[in-house]
Structure 1
Amino acid sequence: MTTDKMENKKMDYDRKTHVITSDATPPPTAPSPTKNSSSPSIAVSNDCPRECPQEDHVKAGVEAQQEIDDTKSDSSEPEYFDIHDDDMTSPIEALSDYGPGGFHPVHLGDTLGPISDPCRFRVLHKLGHGGFGTVWLCRDTQDGKPKALKILSADASEKAAKSCPDFRALQLLIHSVSHEEGLSQCFPHTPRAYETAQDLLRKHHIALPYEHFWLPYQPNGSHLCLIAPFLGPNLESFCATYGHVTDLVKHVCFQLVEAMHFLHQKGLCHGDFRPANILFCLNEEVERMGDEELVDALGGVQMAKLTRTPLDNNNKDGAKEEEKEWPKELPRYLVGQADMIKLIRGGWCSPSVAVIDFGVSYPVTEPTGKGTGIPLGYAPPEEAITGQNKEGKEETLVKLGPKSDIWSLGVTLAELALDYFPFADSSDKLYGVKNMELVMGPIPEPFRSEFRAWYKGVWGPDGTALQDVDMVTDQETGKSVLSPVSFSIKRWKEEKEYAQKESGYEDPIRSRMSLGLETLHTKRSGAAIEAQWARDKTKLPSYTWEQTEEEDEMDDDQFPTKKFDDIEVFSDLLRSIFKWMPQDRVSTAEVMAHPWFQDRYAPSKDTKREGVVSRLSQGTFGIIKFMAGFPFNAGNFFFSALSRIFGIFSNPLWFLWRGRSCTNRSNDLEAQ
């Protein structure tokens, strides 16, 4: 669609007004939906100037609600709607998402904001949509930077007003950071403390909404708006593009381990950790782009115009008619989703990443007995195989917690480094459990009995038979061993023998790695990406899929397959994560210290310099522990207190040497 056509369409659309209310501090409080509410609100025109005299736009909440009631009554008759635009290739939301309790209708050029600055955010493009609302790229006229504005549906806003997981996570993390850094405990009322805490979250690869406001009494209800940083595309296609650049892969993977380690240390579990919820950060140049340049970098705008066809029996040819009174609950057109991949191809992305979407997060101290809804391919056994409580509701057999996150981290690492789902890439639970048994061995209790019960309830006698026996005799060793459920011992050994014959490895992970990674680049384009990364590691290498005629005629062997030279090391890392029981899995500290990351861990530059007494006491404790032979760590209260008392007088030499060699690396990470 050309720019002229887009402009002509925009001129034809009847832009509606938006009702704005004042800011609120977390947790967000929904405005009262009653007609008798006398709280003031502001109706702002879409094309209002930067300075909006509020007194010219004041409208009582009663009047706003009355308009909604009138709209509902006017548009109550059934009508058909038609979306038409031959050039539309970008994803758009369903029209059924708009209506009472649904999405808020938004048009390009709309201005939204809190009562203190009702024209603060100007809509430039649509970044995406989902089950809970739409996300828009906006220009923040306060600081001039592009921001992501998520507008929740009215139903989702009502639930978020009671308990918004994003704000709960933000409060928990910022309170922890504020306390640790010696900032004000009343961080919402001290902007500097709040900004400092946000900077620290960003450095630990976490991105959360940091502001919000309400749009009350809209045609479809009241909507909560969340303001977050403008970030790049997610990591779902990362391996296909950059999997052959080993150093870049480890650089990104290590950031994810750091992020999860930070979350767990601050008392939060993510609950939905996967590449779809991890985004690339953008370079600083993006903040300096103009509106038109920014939209062009996202591939331009596509719009699908809506037309309404009334149910008219006399209209035999079914001609479409433009309606004078357009329903207020519907937008005049739907905006196609921005092409985020173009930000990578254009070289606008940073190699830094940010973990987002804390919608199902929960405190470490409050392990959930319910599932988080994470897709089966990333779900640990305690999430994939659940039971029912006395009330017949779904309940996990083992409560979820940090080690559940670590399982999802392991699957994510395998996907980013190998383009490989170790267990399931669909919703087939039987297939997923079969792969789990191939990697980890026979399924144990309490999952074993519950999986059998689930299978019989779903498939009955018509399904593929499961192994009904628990213990069987191994014909080779003569010993009694636990049998797999999804296949027999004989079939299990056949699978291993086949893998050994094909790849030289019985283990499924090692066998998959031995096959190598099929890249999407030719030798020349792949080498160009590696050269870009080696030259400048502050930017994600740009690329293009456009090939020359010479490359089009290339044989398959000229599209190289990456061979892994770290099969034993990386498979050891994954196998230390993939354990049936959560308590058997490694911690984030142990993952960071694993040899696969090649000593990438370094103390944070933001860590405060230790005081003289603290450093003396650490050195003294090291000598005391070494001489006494006690296996206690530096956190032991008795010896820590003892070393602090005598540290200044007993060991100045060790102080100069910063004696912490007695504390091993993983224990040091756990203590942070």
Structure 2
Amino acid sequence: MVSQSRYMPSNLEHVEDLEKYRRGGFHPVHLGDKLEKVGAKHRYEVIHKLGYGGFSTVWLAHNLIEGGYFALKIVCASESSYGPPPPVKAVLDSHPGKIFVTELRRFVILGPNGSHICQVLPLTGPSLLSLSRVPYRLRPAACKNLGRQAAQALAFLHKRGLCHGDFTAANLVLAVSPALHRLSRQQILQLLGTPVQELVHPTGPKTTSASSPKYAVEPADLSKLGSSHLTDHLMVIDFDQTFGFGKTLPSGVPPSPGFHLGTPLASLAPEVIIEGAAGPGSDIWALGCTLFRMRAGIQLFTEWHNNMASNVLGDIFDTVLGAPPSKWRKIPFRKNGWPAASPRSGTDKAIDTCEFGQEEPYPDEDLRAKVYGIWDENRSKTGPALKAAESPIFWTVDPNVVPHWGNVRDGFPHIPPAEASQFLDLLRRMLDYDTKRRITADEALKHPWLAGGKK
């Protein structure tokens, strides 16, 4: 039986699932809310929204007592324990560069939907995902620099027996300048713009109005902080999927989640989709997909047709990377598109068998064509230097003149052939079907494409 919707869908482009404003779900937050009472004062005041996920909403807050700006991640009431376990956090916090974003502290919020953990996190800049889609594109030099930092972060984790589990562009962010914390609240909001709001409308009188906020808020575009307040230093976030690998797991470190790894399908390695074999190799696969996303501004593998695993595998095997090994040529699937061996396939007994690698890959859709089809910023080698207002990390694309994939248009040069050759070689090594041949993070750092990003 399908449950009735409690709220009218929002017209805003990026807001959380409003249906989760119910008992055990999200905590209703309003701009100006003051949180964590300390004596007669409150420590934090909410001034903007930063984002959301399946289990939390994230808010920009001003510390009214000690000063500075922080991210407050308010978790669903049903998630009583949240974040990486202490042994994992200890490894993350041991990095000398402090590139892994972990909670500084936490407190509890009691609300109409239950008791919520609120994680206090350092404020960071925009994700590489947000900077690699219209209207933004990462500059080629920045891709190499940030890609190298990403590989270094992954190498650090793997040497300590940890896999990130969701190493995608959404979880790689830019660090902010310390000068940002010296701005007034008015200056911050002048940079980010007034928060866009829309009233939340319950679908019926039985919906408890206290369970939801009065209005939904669209997340801030952190790229608007600009080159004065954004750095080219990479930080890594979201360790809720982190797990250990190796013969002996340290006490308190979770083992591989197998089929239940939460990496988005477009970045999920085929051995995880088909066999549940999550490990360092699946992190490398996700990094390869991320590097392509950064450099090309689009996904390498698509999640078309209801985000089904069978279609993602078809995109991998029949177009981009070519025929799979014999053990993956015929795979039984259930109706929801997941392999029959996966717990995600449910109990539906209707099974169809898909045969992959029966046809030659389409020459205009294989990996080589995709890499050589990358278009670059409209700037000639003899052109002017960056203007003061332009960012050395990313540029703004006019969505009305974005070229079609693989087509050369006036003013839109393609990736230089020499770089394309290097990049293609790196991706082929990172996206090898055989995890034993798949390049490691340390090996990737020695590859010419990433080594060229060394400052």
The TM-score bracket by the shorter chain reads: 0.7 to 0.9
Preserved contact between residue 76 and residue 116 of structure 2 (Cα < 8 Å)? yes
The letter for the 1-side match of 2:317 is E
Distance 2:20 2:424 in 1: 44
2:31 to 102, 108, 113: 108
Corresponding position of 2:403: none
1:338 to 210, 215, 220: 220
| 2:22 aligned with 1:141 | no
Corresponding position of 2:267: 378
Cα offset for 1:132?
Answer: 0.8
TM-score, normalising length: structure 2: 0.79
| 2:189 aligned with 1:295 | yes
Preserved contact between residue 84 and residue 239 of structure 2 (Cα < 8 Å)? yes
Preserved contact between residue 166 and residue 208 of structure 1 (Cα < 8 Å)? no
Distance 1:462 1:359 in 2: 32
Higher relative contact order (CA 8 A, sep 6+): 2
| 2:356 aligned with 1:486 | yes
Corresponding position of 1:593: 446
Cα offset for 1:116?
Answer: 7.0
Distance 2:447 2:205 in 1: 67
Distance 1:417 1:102 in 2: 37
Distance 1:420 1:511 in 2: 14
Structure 2: stretches of 5+ with no match in the other structure: 250-254, 401-407
Cα offset for 1:136?
Answer: 0.8
Question: SS of 1:565's equivalent?
Answer: helix
| 2:316 aligned with 1:436 | yes
- The 1:444–1:215 alpha-carbon spacing in structure 2 relative to 1, beyond 3 Å, is same
Cα RMSD, aligned residues only: 4.0
| 2:404 aligned with 1:404 | no
1:346-397 per-residue CA deviation (whole Å, 9 max, x = no partner) reads 75322222111111111233334342121221111221213xxxxxxxxx2x
- The 1:370–1:167 alpha-carbon spacing in structure 2 relative to 1, beyond 3 Å, is farther
* Match runs of 1:280-291 below 5 Å: 280-291=174-185
Distance 1:578 1:80 in 2: 43
Pick the structure with more helix per residue. Answer: 1
Question: SS of 1:126's equivalent?
Answer: strand
1:573-620 per-residue CA deviation (whole Å, 9 max, x = no partner) reads 111121223222111110001122236569xxxxxxxxxxxxxxxxxx
* Match runs of 1:502-513 below 5 Å: 508-513=366-371
The letter for the 2-side match of 1:171 is A
Question: SS of 2:60's equivalent?
Answer: strand
Cα offset for 1:155?
Answer: 0.7
2:140 to 238, 246, 253: 246
Corresponding position of 2:252: none
Corresponding position of 2:435: 582
Preserved contact between residue 111 and residue 118 of structure 1 (Cα < 8 Å)? no
- The 1:127–1:509 alpha-carbon spacing in structure 2 relative to 1, beyond 3 Å, is same
Distance 2:421 2:126 in 1: 32
Corresponding position of 2:386: 531
> Which deviates more from structure 2 when the two are superposed, residues 125-134 or residues 221-230?
125-134
Preserved contact between residue 108 and residue 116 of structure 2 (Cα < 8 Å)? yes
Distance 1:330 1:244 in 2: 37
1:382-423 per-residue CA deviation (whole Å, 9 max, x = no partner) reads 21213xxxxxxxxx2x3x211211111111112212335444
| 2:118 aligned with 1:225 | yes
The letter for the 2-side match of 1:514 is Y
| 2:54 aligned with 1:165 | no
Cα offset for 1:94?
Answer: 4.1
* Match runs of 1:556-575 below 5 Å: 556-575=409-428
- The 1:169–1:380 alpha-carbon spacing in structure 2 relative to 1, beyond 3 Å, is same
Question: SS of 1:353's equivalent?
Answer: strand
Question: SS of 2:73's equivalent?
Answer: strand
Preserved contact between residue 80 and residue 311 of structure 1 (Cα < 8 Å)? no
- The 1:575–1:90 alpha-carbon spacing in structure 2 relative to 1, beyond 3 Å, is closer
- The 1:546–1:155 alpha-carbon spacing in structure 2 relative to 1, beyond 3 Å, is closer
Question: SS of 2:231's equivalent?
Answer: strand
Distance 1:441 1:92 in 2: 37
| 2:146 aligned with 1:257 | no
- The 1:586–1:140 alpha-carbon spacing in structure 2 relative to 1, beyond 3 Å, is same
Cα offset for 1:333?
Answer: 2.9
Distance 1:100 1:526 in 2: 61
Corresponding position of 1:151: 74
Corresponding position of 1:415: 293
Cα offset for 1:327?
Answer: 4.3
Cα offset for 1:424?
Answer: 3.3
Preserved contact between residue 131 and residue 394 of structure 2 (Cα < 8 Å)? no
| 2:108 aligned with 1:214 | yes
Distance 1:145 1:430 in 2: 47
Preserved contact between residue 243 and residue 249 of structure 1 (Cα < 8 Å)? no
The letter for the 1-side match of 2:294 is L
Cα offset for 1:536?
Answer: 10
Among all aligned residue pairs of Structure 1 and Structure 2, give the percentage whose two residues are the same amino acid: 27
TM-score, normalising length: structure 1: 0.56
The letter for the 2-side match of 1:582 is T
Question: SS of 1:304's equivalent?
Answer: strand
| 2:93 aligned with 1:93 | no
Matched length: 425
The letter for the 2-side match of 1:578 is L
Distance 2:382 2:221 in 1: 23
Cα offset for 1:272?
Answer: 0.7
